[in-house]
């Protein structure tokens, strides 16, 4: 294991249940992702798990800046006729690809799944009116739009593009996210989150990766690229971390990964990383997330990190 990989023992409030209720801020209150489960469960049940983006409707008001007369193009079509400056101008203006019109190309060289954490009945953290599940979704959509308007050889799938859960039960919800990556034959899944701490005194970014040999190194390299771009924005980086399950052991008696996304993706030979961008209950970090422009900067940092890792090709 690389020396720069830290083992994390602290609680990740946005994903796991926290005993304490924060002042004005709440954690998910849901079941821990570490809930025992049958890891030998058959992966696929034959359902259509690649997200049906055409079925979804973008519902976030501030982010729904697409309009009927503004047809951002799918890569490989008319976007190719636009100069990079024209694309940048659209990005700067805040336009978004219409999620009902963007269709990922399954033949793209690189296939990415962006996973906005939580959603629907799974709220995630919240603080002073900021709902983690909402800003997770915003950042993920902005990240997707940046990637598909700037790079010609990437397809981006979403585990959700509206405020919804993938399953009412947290255990199934998390496994469904990995199933999306499997059905998309993804090169990586990036699960997008924001954190909160019981004492509101934690800040900065951290990336959780699987410790499994089949995905660990690539996960850590991808996470490093993203953390580097977030650091450029001014967010403190706490580096790459792994966390062991408390009670889930493999046949050799070694603990599985604590976080279900890490665990389920590793089981499918897919690097699945959790990016905790910042703490929504920390005043210093709040400056990085309290406007759409801030969230866009975070989304672009993610996109640039992904592009650097996969050496994506600019239009």
**Which residues make up the interface to Zn ion (CB under 5 A)?**
14-15, 117, 124, 193
**Residues 6 or more apart from 315 whose CB is under 8 A from it?**
75, 79, 80, 82, 84, 87, 149, 150, 151, 152
Dihedral angle computed from the Cα positions of residues 63, 69, 73 and 78, in that order, rounded to the nearest 10 degrees: -150
Closer to Zn ion by Cβ: residue 102 or 208:
208
Cα–Cα distance for residue pair 222/226, rounded to 1 Å: 7
Residue number, 65 or 167, with CB nearest to Zn ion:
167
**Side-chain half-sphere exposure of 304, counting CA atoms within 13 A:** 13
- Residue 56 beta carbon to Zn ion: minimum distance, rounded to whole angstroms: 20
CB of 288 to Zn ion, least distance (A): 16
Question: What is the smallest separation between the CB atom of 142 and Zn ion, expressed in angstroms?
Answer: 17
| Contact of 117 with 191, CB cutoff 8 Å | yes
Name the residue with the smallest CB distance to Zn ion.
14
Exposure string over 68-102, b if 16+ CB within 10 A, otherwise e: eeeebbbbeeebeebeeeebeebbeeebbbbbeeb
Return the number of the residue (63 or 132) whose C-beta is nearest Zn ion: 132
Q: Give me the least distance between CB of 15 and Zn ion, in Å please.
A: 5
Closest contact distance (angstroms) between CB of 176 and Zn ion is: 16
Cβ closest to Zn ion, residue 35 vs residue 308: 35
Nearer to Zn ion, 135 or 181 (CB): 135
Reference 257, options 75, 37, 100, 18; nearest CA is: 37
């Amino acid at each position: 294991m690389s020396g720069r990989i830290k083992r994390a023992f602290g609680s990740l409030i946005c994903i796991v249940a926290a005993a304490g209720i924060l002042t004005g801020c709440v954690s998910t209150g849901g079941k821990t992702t570490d809930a025992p489960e049958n890891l030998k469960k058959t992966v696929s049940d034959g359902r259509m798990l690649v997200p049906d983006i055409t079925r979804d409707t973008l519902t976030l008001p501030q982010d729904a800046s697409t309009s009927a007369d503004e047809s951002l193009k799918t890569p490989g079509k008319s976007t190719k006729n636009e100069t990079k400056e024209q694309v940048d101008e659209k990005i700067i203006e805040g336009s978004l690809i219409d999620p009902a019109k963007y269709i990922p190309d399954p033949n793209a060289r690189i296939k990415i799944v962006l996973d906005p954490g939580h959603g629907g009945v799974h709220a995630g953290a919240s603080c002073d009116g900021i709902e983690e599940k909402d800003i997770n979704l915003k950042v993920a959509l902005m990240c997707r739009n940046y990637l598909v308007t700037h790079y010609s050889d990437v397809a981006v799938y979403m585990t959700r593009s509206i405020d919804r859960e993938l399953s009412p039960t947290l255990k199934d919800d998390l496994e469904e996210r990995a199933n999306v990556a499997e059905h998309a034959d993804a090169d990586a899944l990036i699960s997008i989150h924001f954190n909160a701490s019981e004492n509101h005194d934690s800040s900065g970014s951290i990336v959780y990766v699987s410790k499994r040999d089949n995905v660990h190194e690539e996960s850590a390299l991808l996470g490093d690229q993203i953390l580097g771009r977030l650091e450029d924005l001014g967010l403190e980086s706490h580096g790459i971390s792994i966390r062991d399950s408390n009670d889930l052991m493999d046949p050799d008696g070694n603990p599985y990964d604590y976080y279900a996304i890490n665990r389920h993706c590793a089981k499918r030979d897919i690097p699945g990383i959790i990016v905790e961008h910042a703490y929504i209950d920390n005043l210093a970090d709040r400056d990085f997330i309290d406007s759409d422009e801030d969230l866009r900067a975070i989304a672009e940092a993610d996109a640039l990190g992904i592009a650097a890792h996969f050496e994506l090709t600019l239009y």
